[in-house]
Amino acid sequence: MTADDPGHRRVTIDDIEAARERLASTDIVQSTPVDYSRSLGRRADAEVYLKFEHLQRTGSFKTRGAYNKLSRLVEADAADTVVAASAGNHAQGVALAATTLGLDATIVMPRTAPQAKVEATEGYGAAVVLEGTDFQGAVAHARTLADGDRTAFVPAYDDPDIVAGQGTLAFDLLDDVPKVDTVVLPIGGGGLVGGTALALKHADPSIRVIGVQADDAATVPTSLDKGHPCDREDVDTIADGIATGNVSELTLGLIREHVDEVVTVSDAEIAHGILLLLERAKQLVEGAGAATAAAVLSEALDVSGETVVPVLSGGNLDMTMLRTILTHELTARSQNIRLRVRIDDEPGRMHELSGVIADRGANIRTVHHHRSDDALDVGEAFLVFLVETSGASQAADIAAAVEECGYRIERIN
pLDDT tens figures, 99-140: 999 999 999 999 988 788 899 999 999 999 999 888 888 999
Segment 376-384 mean pLDDT: 95
pLDDT tens figures, 385-396: 999 999 999 999
pLDDT at 180 over 80: yes
Segment 18-27 mean pLDDT: 96
Q: Taking Cα atoms as reference points, which of 356, 367, 365 lies closest to residue 404? A: 356
pLDDT at 53 over 90: yes
pLDDT tens figures, 327-358: 999 999 999 999 999 999 999 999 999 999 99
CATH of domain 6-60+164-328: 3.40.50.1100
How many CB atoms are located within 10 Å of the residue 348 CB?
A: 8
The pLDDT of residue 8:
56
Q: Taking Cα atoms as reference points, which of 89, 88, 97 lies closest to residue 152? A: 97
The pLDDT of residue 114:
79
Q: What's the topology of domain 64-160?
A: Rossmann fold (3.40.50)
Across all residues in the chain, what is the average pLDDT? 94
Q: Crossing angle of helices 267-276/319-332, nearest 10°? A: 100
| Residue 186 backbone dihedrals phi, psi, to 5 degrees | -75, 155
| Shared fold status for 6-60+164-328 and 64-160 | yes
Q: What string of H, E and C letters represents the secondary structure of 103-169?
A: CEEEEEECCCCCHHHHHHHHHCCCEEEECCCCHHHHHHHHHHHCCCCCEEECCCCCCHHHHHHHHCH
What proportion of the chain, given as a percentage, has pLDDT over 70? 98
pLDDT at 4 over 50: no
CATH of domain 335-411: 3.30.70.260
In contact, 407 and 356? CB cutoff 8 Å: no
pLDDT at 215 over 90: yes
pLDDT tens figures, 72-96: 999 999 999 999 999 789 999 999 9
In contact, 352 and 405? CB cutoff 8 Å: yes
Boundaries of every domain in the chain: 6-60+164-328, 64-160, 335-411
